[in-house]
Amino acid sequence: MNLPEYHCLRHEQPEPGIHLVTIDRPRALNALDTTTLAELASVVARLAVDPDARALLLTGEGAKAFVAGADISQMQSLSPEQARAFSAKASRLFLDIEALPVPAIALVNGYALGGGCELALACDWIVAAEGAVFGQPEVNLGIPPGFGGTQRLPRRIAPGKALELLFTGRQVKADEAVAIGLANEKVPADALLARGMELARTIASKGPFAVRLVKQAWQRGQSLDLAQACAVESDLFGLAFSSADQKEGMRAFLEKRAAVFRGD
């Protein structure tokens, strides 16, 4: 897969199947403007149709910020119609990140505020550096969150705690983020990328078809009641038995050897 160059982010492939995207606007604390959103949308669209992709790692450039929020200098003069369009554009992108067929992991290396917190929430799980700070401080600007924060935060953590953070704009550090379930774990800042790569390698070593089915089952089941969601799971479980990965995985288990998966 040939990786194009971008102005506001870097897209790298450090190992086969593992994609690392770094938001690269450190002077603006990696704030999300329209160009950054468009470039990230381009990356996500490519990964969505890449059969060799196994995992996405998403982080920010520098030691200060993952993404400090949406770019306020660009937002401040928007009309109501323009603001709605800006929100809708980011919301579509974050839904596309959520819908990627492979796991997405946010490596939060600093401030993840407003749109940055919402970007992390669109990922499947979050690893926080020791200096990470999360929050939805939009009420301090006289606006509500616009990139999915009012919807994803109460789905990620206890609704009462989410509403507290949304109503007050209070920020939480890494330890509290882990304690309330916002982040999965905290690691030293200098170990963040290594931990992300470790997780991505673990995912890449599993049956790729099965991993994609797990994510598909989770995504499709969220809008269904339990019985319907379990029926979806049964359908996907059956589908797995049409794959070469299933045959290889079970054969390898019985033969007491490591499986060699091909992703089909």
Catalytic residues, by residue number, are 118, 138
In angstroms, rounded to a whole number, what is the distance separating the alpha carbons of residues 192 and 195? 5
Structure tokens at 150: 């009012």
Helix (H) or strand (E) holding 208: helix 208-221
- The answer to whether 211 and 170 have CB atoms below 8 angstroms apart is no
Cα–Cα dist 23/39, whole Å: 10
Cα distances (angstroms) measured from residue 190 to each of 63, 106, 173, 257: 10, 15, 17, 35
The answer to whether the CB of 209 falls within 8 A of the CB of 240 is yes
Distance CA 63, CA 108 (A): 10
Please tell me the distance from the alpha carbon of residue 264 to that of residue 255, in angstroms, as a whole number. Answer: 20
Alpha-carbon distance of 12 to 22, in angstroms, equals: 8
For 208, the token pair is: 């790729």
Whole-number Å distance between alpha carbons of 220 and 177: 27
Contact (CB, 8 A) for 136 and 245: no
The residue length of the chain stands at 264
Q: Which secondary structure element, helix H or strand E, spans residue 47, and what is its range?
A: helix 34-48
Q: How far is CA 153 from the centre of its chain?
A: 13
